[in-house]
């Protein structure tokens, strides 16, 4: 028997993942090209800036969500955490807390919420769906209670100005995506922690037998997801100039949809950082394009649904044929 | 009963590397392992044998920190240890190749080999280094596997080899193999044995679990026997024989394992004409009523793919399937089942079982069409049929309502078989039917084969265990690289001839 | 029964909205002043009709002296209100319903509110560009919310009276300020000649105002909002928003409870009261009445 | 080797499932007892009728959802199907179609939507999350388009009266639950189809190799789920007396929550008909009790979240200790 390695006909997944991301980028580009032709205002610098701003928040949520979904979990609370965080940061700023400290406290609150989720899952044995749904419900209540159903007006100009400005011609909000995505990429794809996340999602028993602390990875995944959501809350508060507990309603579904469009499997262990990013911007581009083309709002919903099917379908085709 | 003499071997005075004192494990009311005391000597190969569900895997899981003991002590190198977590076991240099592959399908082979022990530089994974290192390890062990492929793309046998490579890397002092050859063919097994001997030479203590007696006699220095959770004896391999071990295991003697009757061959049931599909090419063979057609070959030779195509699971790309004289379009599994073909697939976890469902449901899944009264399932018949198979195959379970996942490996395999015996068919395709099944039950299953044949059925028996196909098959076909390379009638050639054909030397 | 035992629940459309919190604040104050126990109830979204029906059923089951309700949907609430009115007097506030069983009604006419918004927008456009012409847009928070549809109706009807003004976009959002913001920025991109926007509730006005500020076109594009809070008042002050149509939610809540108590005692009450809608602009915002409307005492 | 089956004292799963349902019933009863003591109006006939009415729609959705979840899928579209169906049935009734035919057509539309989902999953290879999310988005658009964003008023008195009346002292709406739940129970727990559903959810490959038609079961599960949602749409239209495309918003989450509270696993193959039923009525009781106790609506959210955690936690405990 020969001991050399015979090359097999099975294509290595690594390359394939890369190609897969390319397809999605291709679909996004195609969308952009069609829109550039259909409407003159699409390909203007101003609109691209708007587009980048519009997609950035869901994109960051989607990245956090991806960590959780890779562990075969789900985080329904992110929208509520966004809303709650706008209240926290707005309240702190109005109380005169300096911006950096207000932001840090808000992120810490987010982290704490995520740790609570992980605690519920790991220690109390609750399904992720339930514990995050419960937080979703409760957090909105707490936020509404704090604000008494109204909005907290942020009078700190420096804070709100940030969301409007650009750096090197790119909106600050999009830079936030870059700032989050790069470490997220390193974490998920280049560090051993990322590998452990996949292992936990793929086969928690195998991960445990390999000495991976499954609870720790669950804490990391949910902690990051909620912290990213808190970060988005800060961005949203800056963009809207208010804190309001009902904001971010339904964003969890948008984030999960971006994640799944980006090729993440809800059964865990499959997913990337770039996929959800592209997924989020595909959704943002569809909305932007529909607005620019002044599509009737009702038709806009129908078209969004159809496009989601079409895009994911072509992706599936591509994946199957490799 | 305990192995009496402290014993004859030369390093008798040496301190045992690992000692169990009244070790025990309960699952609720089930006592999987009754208090057992046993000492493993430094550098020995210690085999453990026993019936399905006797507690072998349980013992192994206790030693590797997978599950926690409910009583007793473990002494490692003279000091009492907890072995409460897998980490602790790994830290001592204890590792195992478990009976069911416990690896991550979504990660590459290299990532699995190094999982938990990654090479990191500046916080970044050294993927290329690890792939290279993993490839070298695999090559050194003589395993013909690429390190950069996803684990999920490998067959179970290949996955088992990856698990072996992984364990050898961590079990620097003590490695346990739980039925490592179940899915391996002779040549891969030979490589594994070479590896085990090499490890022994390096001073590693080996525990080897198998249902194949000849492997035990080929490898082991000593052997311990478990029966119903009780350690019934330990023997020096030189002081014992096949019959004694089997008698210890099943508490009675077994005259004959391979049950073969002369059954007259009947009409041709199945004929494949130049059948091709994914993984196999141009395969022509026939199966008659009363005949066992054996398919032998190395891992990945294409036998399972062939079977899946015949069963309508995978589409053929060329050729014809002829069923009792008629060319049939095997559209899907249903078509095959309705024609009277049954397939007990090779991977019990992936294809054979609904693990988180009750045994009874698993056994009856193919027959629910037949046991309805009105619109509801006939519950009495459902119970009767499940209990029938549990009884016939000696499936060791408290109830037909227990989940399949709580069964020992061999008992799970019996469920896969029982499911199709329950259904009945004219042609049975058994793909590795006796993987992980104990000797007593094997004999039982072979006897059931004879019964099926007498009732006019035909059998395609795919096995990587040469003695099995060799002894049982009326016609033996050898697959290599997806082609039929040799066919012979019953016992025309020797084991060596057949092996040579399969390897292609 | 002593007055303390008297319970009069108030059921609003959406407890999470500031507007309804002001209504509740008014009701709460009335409860304190009159010694009435006032449970504050309401669905969690203006579109949750079924939720409001359930709440009404539950409230009636508690055998209150009377019920004050702001029906979310005209026809759907009709039958349940008629049903409930068999056991308790029902006082309607804010919006109407297809039922003749109301003992009394205190409403603002949302259609009228929409008309006022249209007039305000045209005036603002004229002030900015000197002419009563140009392209305008409408942003509605969510589809199918009764009061928002009425505002839209009034706005479109009134706009038709100005031939120079063209409604180029009529958009629905999803109730989120960020969506309102995104829609507004896209409207500005797609319609460079846009001169005015009507954002027909609080949240949309916040988003639209923020978009004008973000794109620096507050001078060029006039914006009319509906309802008010600190944020919108700020926008009004700095000119981002040109006018706010405000109702008198506090009074609606207060008078609703007051009327209900009277009705429960069998006193004669007025069958219909219009609490009115007013346009507050940067120019008149400092007037005393404006200040009262803009800064209701919530607590 | 002994061939007889050794009887052991391990409780068979069947009984255990029964016990599990008992616990949930126990929790529901506990909730009711606490509420009866806390507020005199809870245990009145009138209120119990209200409670039964209020829980009935989510209960039926939850049963349909359970079929889908048992196959390891998810149906996010049910809320949208409810809203859309109110429009369909209202439109038909206003067009003068007789009640039974209008209802049948609406149910058929529901079935068609479900089959479309199954088609997307089976033939196009789309993840259930994506195809049902897409329908959710599109259906609301189509419904709004049909009604032009307004409401269709149902003038057929007989139709609307039905939802308010009772039979044998029990509200008609609750009878609908009974009418759905009994065949659903027979289907899932007593017929071969139920067995097949579990098998598909547990291991589709094994089910397939046992001769189960996996695609057929997927069609059945999604078809039933959407048809149940259409049925709920009819009930809602009767209760509201209007057809309105935005109704039922967020009901998918409530249905899924009821299902999960009722012991269904989102990973498939675990679930029952009675569990989700009880889950739905637990949620309805919490809302009803909070209203009766005059809990501030913000506190109500907080308490709902906390109670969900507590209830599922005790369930988990019970399950683990068996
Ligand atoms: N998780 C579990 N829960 C309950 N019982 C279990 C569980 N795991 C194993 N058992 C029971 O413990 C007993 C011993 O099982 P074990 O897996 O050790 O057998 P084994 O000797 O390895 O058999 P085989 O040769 O079939 O692999 C069996 O009766 C089995 O059903
Ligand atoms: N999922 C897969 N993707 C790609 N190739 C595969 C896959 N599964 C099997 N193969 C390839 O198909 C060929 C035939 O495999 P098959 O499982 O039929 O072999 P076999 O003779 O039954 O061996 P084994 O004893 O491993 O089952 C092999 O080359 C194998 O590598
Ligand atoms: Mg075992
Ligand atoms: Mg095989």
Which of B86, B123, B149 faces A209 most closely, judged by CB atoms? B86
- The better pLDDT of the pair A76, B489 is held by A76
Which of A137, A267, A297 faces D305 most closely, judged by CB atoms? A137
What residue of C is the nearest CA neighbor of D47? C61
Q: What is the pLDDT of residue B4?
A: 40
- Closest by CA to B188, choosing from B146, B222, B159, B223, is B159
Partner D, chain A 240-299, Cβ-Cβ below 8 Å: 253, 256-257, 260-261, 265-267, 296-299
Strands (E), chain A: 152-153, 166-167, 170-171, 242-243
> What residue ranges line ligand 1, CB within 6 angstroms?
B 27, 30, 32, 50, 52-58, 99, 396, 406-411, 436, 438
Which residue of B365, B420, B429 is the best one to mutate when testing the D interface, meaning the one whose CB has the most D CBs within 10 A?
B365
Which atom number of ligand 2 is nearest to the Cα of residue B300? 19
Distance B72 CA to ligand 1 centre (A): 19
Contacts of A among chains (3+ CB pairs under 8 A): B, C, D
Q: Is B8 inside any structural domain?
A: no
pLDDT band at B52 (very low <50, low <70, confident <90, very high): confident
User: C-D interface: how many C-beta pairs under 8 angstroms?
Assistant: 92
What residue of D is the nearest CA neighbor of C41? D297
Q: Is A6 inside any structural domain?
A: no
pLDDT band at D322 (very low <50, low <70, confident <90, very high): very low
Question: DSSP assignment of D21-60, as one string?
Answer: HHHHHHHHHHHHHHHHHH-TTTTSHHHHHHHHHHHHHHHH
In degrees and rounded to multiples of 5, residue C61 shows phi and psi of -60, -25
Q: Is B391 inside any structural domain?
A: yes
Q: How far apart are CA B159 and CA B157, in angstroms?
A: 5
Could you tell me if B27 and B86 lie in one domain?
yes
Could you tell me if B231 and B346 lie in one domain?
no
Q: Is D34 inside any structural domain?
A: no
Q: Is D293 inside any structural domain?
A: yes
**Chain A residues touching D257 at Cβ < 8 A:** 129-130, 133
Secondary structure of residue C244 in the 3-state scheme = strand
Q: Average pLDDT for residues B119-144, to the nearest whole number? A: 90
Distance B407 CA to ligand 3 centre (A): 9
Could you tell me if B92 and B192 lie in one domain?
yes
- The better pLDDT of the pair D22, D110 is held by D110
Q: Average pLDDT for residues D245-256, to the nearest whole number? A: 90
Which atom number of ligand 1 is nearest to the Cα of residue B413? 26
Could you tell me if B356 and B472 lie in one domain?
yes
The answer to whether A281 and A275 are in contact (CB under 8 A) is no
In degrees and rounded to multiples of 5, residue D303 shows phi and psi of -65, -40
pLDDT band at B470 (very low <50, low <70, confident <90, very high): confident
| pLDDT value at A14 more than 50 | no
What residue of B is the nearest CA neighbor of D188? B376
**Sheet containing strand B18-27, strands side by side:** B30-40, B18-27, B71-76, B79-81
Q: Is D298 inside any structural domain?
A: yes
Ligand 2: residue whose CA is nearest its atom 2: B153
Which residue of D7, D210, D214, D217 is the best one to mutate when testing the B interface, meaning the one whose CB has the most B CBs within 10 A?
D210
Read off the tokens for B111: 């990532």
> Domain range holding B499?
268-503
% of chain D residues with pLDDT over 70: 92
Q: What is the pLDDT of residue B491?
A: 66
Which residue of D146, D150, D297, D303 is the best one to mutate when testing the C interface, meaning the one whose CB has the most C CBs within 10 A?
D297
Verify whether ligand 2 is closer than 6 Å to residue B352 (CB atom).
no
ipTM here: 0.86
Interchain contact, A202 vs B142, CB within 8 Å: no
| pLDDT value at D185 more than 90 | yes
Under DSSP, the state recorded for C5 is G
Q: What is the pLDDT of residue B447?
A: 87
Q: Is B478 inside any structural domain?
A: yes
In degrees and rounded to multiples of 5, residue D138 shows phi and psi of -65, -40
Q: What is the pLDDT of residue A17?
A: 55
Could you tell me if B364 and B225 lie in one domain?
no
| pLDDT value at D284 more than 60 | yes
Q: Is D165 inside any structural domain?
A: yes
- Cβ contact C–B (≥3 pairs, < 8 Å): no
Could you tell me if B330 and B460 lie in one domain?
yes
| pLDDT value at A146 more than 60 | yes
Q: What is the pLDDT of residue D3?
A: 33
Residue ranges near ligand 4 (ion) with Cβ within 5 Å: B 304, 346
Q: Is A32 inside any structural domain?
A: no
Distance from CA of D216 to the nearest CA of B (A): 12
Q: Is B301 inside any structural domain?
A: yes
Q: Does C87 touch chain D (CB under 8 A)?
A: no
What residue of A is the nearest CA neighbor of B101? A206
Q: Average pLDDT for residues D1-10, to the nearest whole number? A: 34
Q: What is the pLDDT of residue D67?
A: 97
Query: Measured in whole angstroms, how far is the alpha carbon of residue C22 from the centre of its chain?
Result: 11
| pLDDT value at A118 more than 90 | yes
Question: DSSP assignment of A40-55, as one string?
Answer: TTTTSHHHHHHHHHHH
User: B-D interface: how many C-beta pairs under 8 angstroms?
Assistant: 114
Q: Average pLDDT for residues D213-231, to the nearest whole number? A: 97
Could you tell me if B37 and B184 lie in one domain?
yes
Range of A90-94, B485-489, D170-174 with top mean pLDDT:
A90-94
Q: Which CATH number characterizes residue B315's domain?
A: 3.40.50.300
Q: Is A286 inside any structural domain?
A: yes
Q: What is the pLDDT of residue A18?
A: 56
What 3 state SS string does B7-36 have? CCCCCCCCCCCEEEEEEEEEECCEEEEEEE
Q: What's the pTM?
A: 0.88
Which of D141, D256, D308 faces A298 most closely, judged by CB atoms? D141
Q: What is the pLDDT of residue D11?
A: 35
Range of B184-193, B459-468, D21-30, D177-186 with top mean pLDDT:
D177-186
Verify whether ligand 2 is closer than 6 Å to residue B432 (CB atom).
no
Q: Does C214 touch chain D (CB under 8 A)?
A: no
Which atom number of ligand 1 is nearest to the Cα of residue D10? 4
Region of B142 please: left (phi>0), alpha (psi -120 to 50) or beta: left
Which of D10, D207, D208 faces B398 most closely, judged by CB atoms? D10
Distance D243 CA to ligand 1 centre (A): 58
Q: How far apart are CA C177 and CA A247, in angstroms?
A: 7
pLDDT digits 0-9 by tens, D120-138: 999 998 999 889 999 999 9
Parallel, antiparallel, or unpaired for β B222-227 and B230-236?
Answer: antiparallel
Give 10-residue mean pLDDT values along chain C (299 residues).
73 87 91 91 85 88 90 86 90 86 86 93 92 92 85 94 92 89 90 93 92 89 91 90 91 92 88 86 82 71
Which of A148, A240, A292 faces C186 most closely, judged by CB atoms? A292
pLDDT band at D13 (very low <50, low <70, confident <90, very high): very low
Q: What is the pLDDT of residue B416?
A: 92
The answer to whether C10 and C65 are in contact (CB under 8 A) is no
> Domain range holding D307?
46-317
pLDDT digits 0-9 by tens, A214-225: 999 999 999 999
Angle at Cα D22 formed by Cα D20 and Cα D27, nearest 5°?
100
Q: How far apart are CA B398 and CA D5, in angstroms?
A: 7
Mean pLDDT of chain D: 87
**In the listed set B251, B285, B320, which residue is the last one of a domain according to the structure?**
B251
| pLDDT value at A7 more than 50 | no
The answer to whether C144 and D244 are in contact (CB under 8 A) is yes
Total Cβ atoms within 10 A of residue C171: 24
| pLDDT value at D19 more than 80 | no
Range of C13-17, C181-185, D29-33, D85-89 with top mean pLDDT:
D85-89
pLDDT digits 0-9 by tens, B68-91: 999 999 999 999 998 999 999 999
| pLDDT value at B427 more than 70 | yes
Report the number of distinct structural domains present in chain D: 1
Q: What is the pLDDT of residue A320?
A: 66
| pLDDT value at B1 more than 80 | no
Q: Is A291 inside any structural domain?
A: yes
Which atom number of ligand 1 is nearest to the Cα of residue B211? 25
Tell me which of A158-167, C235-244, D60-69, D291-300 is least confident. Answer: D291-300
| pLDDT value at B45 more than 50 | yes
pLDDT digits 0-9 by tens, B354-395: 999 999 999 999 999 889 888 899 999 999 999 999 998 888
Could you tell me if B303 and B416 lie in one domain?
yes
Read off the tokens for B174: 């003590």
pLDDT digits 0-9 by tens, B189-212: 888 999 999 999 999 999 999 988
Q: Which CATH number characterizes residue D270's domain?
A: 1.10.3470
Q: What is the pLDDT of residue D216?
A: 96
**Chain B residues touching A7 at Cβ < 8 A:** 146
Verify whether ligand 2 is closer than 6 Å to residue B157 (CB atom).
yes
**Chain A residues touching D133 at Cβ < 8 A:** 253, 257, 305, 308
Which residue of A296, A312, A320 is the best one to mutate when testing the D interface, meaning the one whose CB has the most D CBs within 10 A?
A312
Q: How far apart are CA B101 and CA B97, in angstroms?
A: 8
| pLDDT value at D175 more than 90 | yes
Distance B165 CA to ligand 2 centre (A): 20
């Amino acid at each position: 028997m020969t001991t050399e390695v015979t090359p097999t006909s099975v294509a290595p997944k690594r390359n394939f993942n890369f190609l897969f991301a390319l397809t999605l980028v291709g679909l996004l580009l195609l969308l952009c090209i069609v829109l550039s032709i259909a409407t003159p205002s699409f390909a203007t610098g101003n609109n691209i800036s708007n587009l980048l701003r519009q997609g950035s928040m869901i994109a960051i949520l989607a990245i956090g969500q991806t960590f959780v979904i890779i562990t075969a979990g789900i985080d329904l609370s992110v929208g509520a955490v966004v809303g709650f965080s706008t209240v926290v940061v707005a309240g702190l700023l109005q109380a005169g807390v300096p911006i950096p400290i207000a932001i840090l406290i808000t992120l810490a609150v987010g982290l704490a919420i995520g740790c609570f989720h992980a605690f519920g899952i790991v220690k109390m044995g609750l399904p992720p769906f339930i514990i995050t749904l419960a937080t979703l419900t409760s957090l909105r209540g707490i936020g509404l209670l704090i604000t008494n159903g109204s909005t907290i007006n942020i009078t700190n100009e420096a804070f709100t100005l940030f969301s409007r400005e650009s750096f090197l011609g790119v909106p600050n909000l999009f830079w936030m995506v870059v700032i989050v995505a790069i470490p997220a990429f390193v974490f998920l794809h280049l560090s051993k922690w990322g590998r452990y996340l996949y292992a936990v999602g793929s086969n928690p028993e195998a991960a445990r037998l390999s000495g991976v602390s499954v609870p720790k990875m669950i804490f990391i995944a949910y902690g990051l997801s909620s912290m990213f959501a808190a970060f988005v809350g800060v961005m949203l508060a800056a963009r809207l100039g208010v804190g309001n507990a009902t904001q971010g309603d339904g964003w969890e579904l948008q984030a999960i949809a971006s994640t799944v469009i980006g090729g993440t499997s809800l059964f865990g262990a499959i997913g990337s950082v770039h996929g959800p990013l592209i997924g989020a911007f595909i959704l943002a581009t569809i909305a932007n394009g529909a607005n620019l083309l002044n599509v009737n709002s009702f038709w806009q919903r129908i078209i969004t649904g159809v496009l989601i099917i079409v895009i994911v379908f072509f992706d599936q085709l591509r994946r199957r044929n490799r | 009963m305990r192995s009496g003499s402290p014993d004859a071997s030369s390093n008798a005075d040496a301190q045992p590397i690992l000692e169990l004192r009244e070790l025990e494990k309960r699952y609720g009311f089930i006592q999987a392992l009754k208090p057992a005391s046993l000492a493993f000597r430094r550098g020995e190969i210690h085999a453990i044998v026993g019936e399905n569900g006797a507690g072998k895997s349980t013992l192994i899981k206790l030693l590797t920190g997978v599950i926690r003991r409910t009583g007793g002590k473990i002494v490692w190198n003279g000091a009492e240890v907890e072995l409460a977590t897998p980490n602790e076991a790994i830290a001592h240099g204890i590792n195992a190749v478990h009976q069911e592959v416990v690896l991550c399908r979504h990660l590459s082979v290299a990532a699995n080999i190094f999982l938990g022990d990654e090479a990191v530089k500046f916080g970044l994974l050294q993927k290329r280094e690890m792939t290279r290192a993993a490839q070298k390890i695999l090559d050194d062990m003589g395993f013909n596997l690429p390190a950069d492929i996803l684990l999920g793309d490998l067959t179970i046998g290949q996955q088992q080899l990856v698990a072996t490579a992984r364990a050898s890397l961590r079990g620097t002092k003590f490695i346990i193999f739980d039925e490592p050859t179940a899915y391996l063919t002779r040549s891969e097994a030979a490589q594994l044995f070479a590896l085990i001997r090499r490890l022994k030479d390096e001073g590693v203590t080996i525990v080897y679990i198998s249902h194949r007696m000849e492997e035990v006699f080929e490898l082991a220095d000593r052997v311990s026997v478990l029966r119903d959770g009780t350690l019934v004896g330990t023997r020096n391999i030189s002081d014992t024989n096949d019959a004694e071990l089997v008698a210890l295991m099943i508490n009675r003697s077994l005259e004959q394992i391979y049950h073969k009757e002369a059954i007259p061959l009947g009409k041709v049931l199945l004929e494949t004409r130049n059948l091709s599909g994914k993984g196999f090419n141009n395969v022509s063979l026939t199966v008659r009523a009363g005949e066992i057609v054996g398919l032998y070959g190395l891992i990945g030779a294409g036998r399972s793919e062939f079977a899946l195509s015949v069963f309508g699971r995978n589409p053929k790309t060329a050729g014809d399937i002829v069923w009792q004289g008629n060319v049939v379009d095997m559209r899907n599994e249903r078509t095959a089942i309705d024609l009277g073909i049954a397939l007990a697939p090779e991977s019990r976890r992936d294809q054979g079982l609904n693990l988180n469902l009750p045994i009874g449901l698993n056994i009856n899944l193919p027959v629910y069409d037949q046991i309805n009264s009105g619109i509801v399932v006939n519950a009495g018949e459902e119970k009767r049929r499940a209990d029938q198979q549990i009884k016939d195959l000696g499936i060791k379970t408290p109830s037909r309502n227990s989940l399949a996942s709580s069964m020992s490996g061999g008992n799970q395999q019996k469920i896969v078989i029982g499911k199709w015996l329950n259904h009945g068919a004219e042609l049975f395709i058994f793909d590795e039917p006796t993987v992980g099944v104990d000797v007593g039950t094997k004999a039982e299953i072979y006897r059931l084969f004879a019964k099926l044949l007498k009732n006019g059925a035909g059998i395609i028996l795919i096995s990587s265990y040469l003695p099995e196909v060799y002894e049982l098959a009326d016609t033996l076909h050898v697959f290599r690289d997806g082609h039929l390379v040799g066919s012979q009638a019953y016992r025309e050639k020797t084991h060596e001839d057949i092996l040579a054909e399969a390897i292609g030397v | 029964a002593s007055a303390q035992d008297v319970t009069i629940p108030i059921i609003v459309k959406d407890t999470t909205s500031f507007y309804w919190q002001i209504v509740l604040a008014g009701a709460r104050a009335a409860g304190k002043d009159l010694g009435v126990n006032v449970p504050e109830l309401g669905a969690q979204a203006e579109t949750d009709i079924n939720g409001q029906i359930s709440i009404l059923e539950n409230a009636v089951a508690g055998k209150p002296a009377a019920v004050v309700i702001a029906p979310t949907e005209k026809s759907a609430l009709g039958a349940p209100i008629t049903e409930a009115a068999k056991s308790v007097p029902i006082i309607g506030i804010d919006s109407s319903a297809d039922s003749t069983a109301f003992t009394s009604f205190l409403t603002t006419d949302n259609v009228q509110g929409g008309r006022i918004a249209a007039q305000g927008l045209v005036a603002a456009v004229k002030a900015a560009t000197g002419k009563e012409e140009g392209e305008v847009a409408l942003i509605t928070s969510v589809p199918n919310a009764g009061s928002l549809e009425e505002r839209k109706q009034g706005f479109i009807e009134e706009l038709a009276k100005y031939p120079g003004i063209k409604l180029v976009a009529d958009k629905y959002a999803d109730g989120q300020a960020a969506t309102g913001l995104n829609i507004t920025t896209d409207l500005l991109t797609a319609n460079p000649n846009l001169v005015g926007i009507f954002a027909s509730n609080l949240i949309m006005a916040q988003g639209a105002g923020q978009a004008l500020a973000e794109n620096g076109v507050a001078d060029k594009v006039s914006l009319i909002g509906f309802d008010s809070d600190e944020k919108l008042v700020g926008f009004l002050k700095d000119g981002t928003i040109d006018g706010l149509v405000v109702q008198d939610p506090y009074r609606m809540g207060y008078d609703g409870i007051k009327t209900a108590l009277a009705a429960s005692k069998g006193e004669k009450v007025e069958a219909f009261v219009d609490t009115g809608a007013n346009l507050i602009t940067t120019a008149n915002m400092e007037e005393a009445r404006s200040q009262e409307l803009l800064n209701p005492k919530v607590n």
